[in-house]
Amino acid sequence: MADQQSSSPAQEIAAGYASDGGAIELGSVVIDGQADASAAVRLPLATLNRHGLVAGATGTGKTKTLQLIAEQLSASGVPVVLADVKGDLSGLAEQGTGGDKLTARAAETGGDWAPEAFPVQFLSLGTGGKGVPIRASITSFGPILLSKVLGLNETQESTLGLIFHWADQRGLALLDTKDLRAVITHLTSDEGKEDLKGIGGVSAATAGVILRALSNLEAQGGDDFFGEPELDVADLMRRTDAKGVVSLLELDNLQTKPALFSTFLMWLLAELFEELPEEGDLDRPKLVFFFDEAHLLFNDASKAFLDSIEQTVKLIRSKGVGVFFCTQLPTDIPNAVLSQLGARVQHALRAFTPEDQKALAKTVKTYPTTKHYALDEALTSLGTGEAIVTVLSERGAPTPVAWTRLRAPRSKMGSIGAEAITASSATSDLHGKYSETVDRESAYEKLADRVSAPASAGETEAATPDAPERQPESDAEEPGFLSKAMSNPALKSFARSAASALGREVTRGLFGNRRR
C-alpha cells in the first residue's frame, strides 16, 4: 500500500517540493479534483531571493495568497513590505476567526488551522492617509522615476535629467515640488537664460511641459508625498518578538494616482538596492517585497525605466531581497523581468475574448511541461483559493507543475477598519519620527535669496552713501598667516572649487535616485 501511495501522481509531484530547510507551506497537490493532504507544496525560503509572481483574475484569491505568504514569512523572522491597494490586508494585524470551512480547508491542505496575529506597521504615502506618513525627496527620487510619475516622454525625461544634473552641481537640494518648480521657473526666466543654455540640449518649451506636468501632480494632491523627513529603509527591516514586521502601505487614498504609488514602490526597491550590502545566497531572505497591481508599474514606461527595473530585479537578489510581482496576467510583466521570476503562483485565468485566449496560450508556455494536467484547461478551471504552482527547489531546479489547493491564512481575512489602523499608527514608534513635515533650506529658498540679493544690495548702498574712511595702513591689525595665505588668488580659487565639489556632488543609482 505504501509503495502504491508513493507512486501516486500527487506524491510524485510532491516529491519535487521536498525541502530540508525552512519553507512556506502553500498547500497540497490536487489530482482529478481531489486534494491529497499528504502531498505538500512548499516554497523554500532559501530560493525566495529568486523572486516570484502571483497572478490571476479578480476574485480568484490572489489577496489571500499574499496574506498566506506574508504570514509565514513574518513567522520565520523575515520582514515583509506589502501594498494594501484594496484595504483587505490590514487583517494581518488581528487573529482570524475559525469555522467549519477553515477546518475543512485545513484537513485538505495538511495542517491544523489556528488563529494568529502578526506585527504590522501601517504606512501611508504622504500626509493624507491613516498610516504613519512616509515621504521621499525629489532629489532622492531622481529623474527617471519622477518622469514616470509625471507621464513624460523619453525626450522630456532626458531634459528632466539635465535639470537634475544642473541642480546637483549647484548644491540646490530638491526636497519637494516647490523646489523643482523654483529651479525650472528660474531656468525659463530671463535671469536663467544663460544657465539654460549652459545645460545643453534643453529647450524652454520642453522645460515648460515639465512644469505643467508638475502643476498637474500638485493639483491632484501628489505634492504632499515629496519632502522630509525621508523614509529610512532600515525601518522596513525590523523584527519584534522574533517575527518579521509587515510594513503595510495603505493605498486606498491613492486610487486616482496609480502611477505615483507604483513608482514609489519601485523607489523603495531601488533604495534597498543602493543601501544594502552584498550578501550572496542566504538560508532565508532579509526582506521580501510585494508589488501589487504590478501592471501599473510597466504601463507607458520608458526604455530607461524598464531597463532599470530589469537591472534592479536581476541584481537585488544578491542583497538578500526577494521580489514578488502581483497582477492579473503574466503578460503584464515584460519578458526580461518575467524570465527572472523563479516562483509562479497562478490563479484562475479567464478566456472570454480572443485577447484572453492569447494571454492564456502565452501563460501555458511559461510553465514546465507536465503529464498530469492539460494546463490550458486547468488554468481556466481552478477554483477560488487554488493555483497552478511551480517554484525553484533548494537545488535551483524548477519543481513539477502542481495544481494546488492553498492553505487558509491564520489572520483576519478582511480589513480591521479605519479607526483601528489610525490608532495603531498613532502609537507606533515610527510616528514621532515621521509625523511632522520638515521644510529646511533648499532650492526654493536659495533661488529666492538670489533674486532678492541685488535689490537688497542697492537699498543698502542708497541708505549709506557716505562710507567711513579707511583706517591708515599703520593702524590696521597685522594680518595673520591664514589671512595672508587666503589673500592668494590661486589658493582662494582652489578653496572655492574644493568646497563647491564637496557640497554639490550627488552620486545617482540605476534609477537616477540619489545614493547616500
Q: CB neighbours of 455 closer than 8 A, spacing ≥ 6? A: none
The rounded distance, in Å, linking the Cα atoms of 323 and 191 is: 47
CA neighbours closer than 13 Å in the CB half-sphere of residue 464: 7
The rounded distance, in Å, linking the Cα atoms of 355 and 402 is: 26
| Cα-based distances in Å from 80 to 283, 290, 391, 435 | 16, 8, 19, 22
The rounded distance, in Å, linking the Cα atoms of 358 and 366 is: 13
The rounded distance, in Å, linking the Cα atoms of 369 and 401 is: 8
Per-residue pLDDT of the chain (516 residues; tens, 9 = 90+): 444 445 799 999 999 999 999 999 999 999 999 999 999 999 999 999 999 999 999 889 999 999 999 999 999 999 999 988 878 899 999 999 989 999 999 999 988 899 999 999 999 988 888 999 999 999 999 999 999 999 999 999 999 999 999 999 999 999 999 999 999 999 888 888 888 877 876 788 898 999 999 999 888 888 888 999 999 999 999 999 999 999 999 876 656 677 788 888 889 999 999 899 998 789 999 999 998 888 888 888 888 889 889 999 999 999 999 999 999 989 899 999 999 999 999 999 988 889 889 989 999 998 999 999 999 999 999 999 999 999 999 989 999 999 999 999 999 999 999 999 999 999 999 999 999 999 999 999 999 887 665 554 454 444 444 444 434 443 333 444 334 444 444 334 333 333 333 344 567 777 777 665
Q: What does the pLDDT read at residue 127?
A: 84
Q: What does the pLDDT read at residue 258?
A: 75
Q: What does the pLDDT read at residue 2?
A: 46
For 200, other C-beta atoms within 10 Å of its C-beta total 9
- For residue 377, the surrounding DSSP H or E stretch is helix 375-381
Q: What does the pLDDT read at residue 252?
A: 66
Amino acid symbol at 262: S
CB contact at 8 A, 352 and 322: no
Q: What does the pLDDT read at residue 301?
A: 83
- SS3 call for 302: coil
Question: For residue 430, which of 233, 276, 223 has the smallest C-alpha distance?
Answer: 233
The rounded distance, in Å, linking the Cα atoms of 197 and 201 is: 8
Q: What does the pLDDT read at residue 71?
A: 98
CB contact at 8 A, 166 and 180: no
- Which residue bears the cell 487583517? 91
- The three three-digit cell numbers of residue 492, written as one number: 582662494
- For residue 291, the surrounding DSSP H or E stretch is strand 287-291
Q: What does the pLDDT read at residue 256?
A: 64
| Cα-based distances in Å from 29 to 26, 182, 503 | 10, 60, 60
CATH code at 7-135+232-434: 3.40.50.300
Q: What does the pLDDT read at residue 195?
A: 83
Distance from the Cα of residue 248 to its chain's centroid: 12
- The full set of domain ranges for the chain reads 7-135+232-434, 138-225
Q: What does the pLDDT read at residue 197?
A: 79
The rounded distance, in Å, linking the Cα atoms of 56 and 346 is: 6
Q: What does the pLDDT read at residue 392?
A: 95
For 383, other C-beta atoms within 10 Å of its C-beta total 14
Q: What does the pLDDT read at residue 471?
A: 41
Question: For residue 48, which of 83, 27, 19 has the smallest C-alpha distance?
Answer: 19
Name the DSSP letter for residue 95: B
Q: What does the pLDDT read at residue 462?
A: 45
